[in-house]
Structure 1
Amino acid sequence: MRKWAVALVACLLLLSACSKEAPKTADKEKKKAVASEKQGKDLPYTFPLTGIGSESSTDGRAFAVMINNFPKARPQSGLHKADIVYEMLAEGEITRFLAVFQSEKPETVGPVRSARDYYLHLAKGLDSIFIAHGYSKEAKQMLSNGFIDNINGIAYDGTLFKRADFRVAPHNSYITFDNMLKGSKKLGFDLYKTPRPFTFLKENAVKGLSGKEASYASVAYFSNDIYTSVYEYDTALGKYKRYSNGELTIDLDTKQPILLDNIFITEMSHTPAGEGGLRDIDLESGGKGLLLQRGKAIEVEWKNSGGRILPYLNGAEAGLVPGKTWVNIIPQDPGIPGSVSLEAN
């Protein structure tokens, strides 16, 4: 009897504990549901370069970083957290990236590479702090004249910029986000100058997107397949994945793929500008473009609006799908018809 009494008391205590735990568990699930529901509603703040909502302030300066795209520099670090990436020819048939960070803060970015003058203009248009390691003659002159707030690895190699031991120069220069902030504060840069927002589509407009089927897109830079950008639309994710030379573009450190909501392809005049395949690129005149969103492609125009390269449709700025954007700037000759291939599933 004494054993049965002890067992009964133990059961009662267990039931009591469970009854207290049940409300706690229910409360947790309720909080999760409320948080999930809240994410689907309009939030009080919006990041200017992605259109993604936030519960806290989205103010803050953008950082525009020159990223190496030489095969020995792949996979790169930090690209998966960039709000927008511009891909352009740096020299010869070699492309280089300008990765702009504002909504997310990458732990490490690189390999960081040298500047060209047209990248400086794009960075300036977004009111960003420009990060590079080296420069062309024209870019050096612009930086020396104070064209844009900048931090360069030529001056801070081994301090703000670190050399990775698993790659060889010039494909091994990296900078952390903490060091971007540290250098900016040291140089007295304004860290609260928020870039002007892009135009973004509302949810209903995103669902109603139309255009030519474009679940696959290939963007070639001349005949060099090593620098051909390929995009494949993942219907389950509702985003594009990027491939380069047949390999998925991923983050070196996290192995996360680059996932994109907008692919903006523009053709611009490219003219020779010196030895080594350097060139001038006309960022001002406007021209033909393609905008890929949610597996669809539409023909647009590009215009330079206050230093920003934007898509226009029927005379008005075309809205972007909230999320991340990749911009391919290609030579006008051969232009989009000769450089871009679209396919449906």
Structure 2
Amino acid sequence: MRKKWMAMAAAAVFISGCSSAEPANEQSKRNEINPLTGIESSDTSNRAIAVVVSNHPSARPQTALDEADIVYEVLAEGGITRFLALYQSEYPAEIGPVRSARDYFIELADGYNALFLAHGYSPEAQELLLSGEVDQINGIQHDGNVFKRDASRTAPHNSYIDMDEALRVAEQKGYNMDTVPSRLSFLSEEEEQSLSGEPAEEVRIRPSSNDLFESVYQYDGDSYNRSIGGADVKADTIFVIEADHRVVDAKGRLDIDLTSGGDAFLIQKGVRNLVKWRNQDGRIVPYTESGAALVQGTTWIHIVPASRGLNKAVEIETDREGNGS
């Protein structure tokens, strides 16, 4: 499999109402803004940490998904999904259950220069992780210290990260944990209030025919709420992109094209807009000719197969009139 994450070309500068040149005093304020949420914070000096989290029914409810700044939900084999959860604004004490890596999870994490944590790997992911080019800690080598087993659950859905141990091992390995990711583009509060589009009160996302992995979000007038096996999470932006998926081996492992761009739904503040997505320096971001950006807060990014298409994968329900698009 080609190593797309290593050959990724930088995309054009991301256009948004928030990306224009700023006076010096505004630039100093940027140091107090969390780069992945756009929210003011007293400490923004952390390196991002990316964790592969199971979404198997036996792994629910998960621990600390609600504390992530950005979550990708992506297909693995057999129509099931896994999460790549990114933590930068705060590090939870425990995260899990943790599952094995795929090369496209490493690709996504690399866009944020994140420390990559998983328990196990596909052959392609193993080659990348053991090359020495990725800062990573894996449960294959660190089961029992960084990755603790929960006796109340059955393997492989019982591996949890002990964050204190993870940071200790990262220090032992000489990883720099003060490398702050560059800031994403966010709407101002005024821009958030003026958002328009097709109304979107309830959002259902089905990346495959497996109903066990349907995502249902309800808008509460401010953000979108979702329950996963009894664990509640919140999304301020829901970004659903379609990308080419290709089965590459007898076990059903996938190659996902994360570089070519394509159509996407950007769902924020109770409205949906059809936009484009593109890969900007390894990050999946929304794009329109007139500008697009994230709402301040937590972002959930769903990657669905282009063969299924947005209109089949995403169902929108509403009980009010839209603002116009």
* TM-score bracket relative to the smaller structure: 0.7 to 0.9
Residues 23-76 of structure 1: per-residue CA shift (max 9 Å, x gap): xxxxxxxxxxxxxxxxxxx7860000000002x341220000000100000000
Q: Which residue identity is paired with 2:250? A: E
Cross-structure match for 1:53:
40
Aligned residue runs from structure 1 range 153-172, under 5 A = 153-172=139-158
> Comparing both chains, which one has the higher relative contact order based on Cα–Cα distances under 8 Å and sequence gaps of 6 or more?
2
Cross-structure match for 2:74:
88
Pair 1:221-2:207 in alignment? yes
Q: Secondary structure at the match of 1:180?
A: helix
Pair 1:336-2:310 in alignment? yes
2-side partners of 1:44 and 1:191: how far apart? 17
Q: Verify the 8 A CA contact 2:198 2:272 in the aligned structure 1.
A: yes
Q: CA deviation at 1:220?
A: 0.5
Pair 1:274-2:249 in alignment? yes
2-side partners of 1:84 and 1:43: how far apart? 19
Q: Verify the 8 A CA contact 2:43 2:89 in the aligned structure 1.
A: no
Q: Which residue of the other structure, out of 198, 205, 213, is the alignment partner of 1:212?
A: 198
1-side partners of 2:162 and 2:75: how far apart? 25
Q: Which residue identity is paired with 1:261? A: D
**What root-mean-square deviation, in Å, do the aligned CA atoms of Structure 1 and Structure 2 show?**
1.3
Q: Verify the 8 A CA contact 2:146 2:163 in the aligned structure 1.
A: no
Q: Verify the 8 A CA contact 1:44 1:53 in the aligned structure 2.
A: no
Aligned residue runs from structure 1 range 247-258, under 5 A = 247-248=229-230, 250=231, 257-258=232-233
2-side partners of 1:324 and 1:183: how far apart? 28
Q: Normalising by structure 1, report the TM-score.
A: 0.82
Q: Verify the 8 A CA contact 2:31 2:44 in the aligned structure 1.
A: no
Q: Secondary structure at the match of 1:85?
A: strand
2-side partners of 1:334 and 1:307: how far apart? 24
Q: CA deviation at 1:315?
A: 6.1
Q: CA deviation at 1:314?
A: 1.5
2-side partners of 1:186 and 1:66: how far apart? 22
Find runs of 4+ consecutive structure 1 residues off by over 6 angstroms.
none
Greater Cα radius of gyration, structure 1 or 2: 1
Pair 1:242-2:232 in alignment? no
Specify every segment of 5 or more residues in structure 2 that has no aligned partner in the other structure, as ranges.
1-28, 320-325
Q: Which residue of the other structure, out of 133, 138, 158, is the alignment partner of 1:147?
A: 133
Cross-structure match for 2:11:
none
Q: Normalising by structure 2, report the TM-score.
A: 0.87
2-side partners of 1:183 and 1:81: how far apart? 22
Q: Which residue of the other structure, out of 238, 243, 258, is the alignment partner of 1:263?
A: 238
Pair 1:288-2:268 in alignment? no
Q: CA deviation at 1:176?
A: 2.0
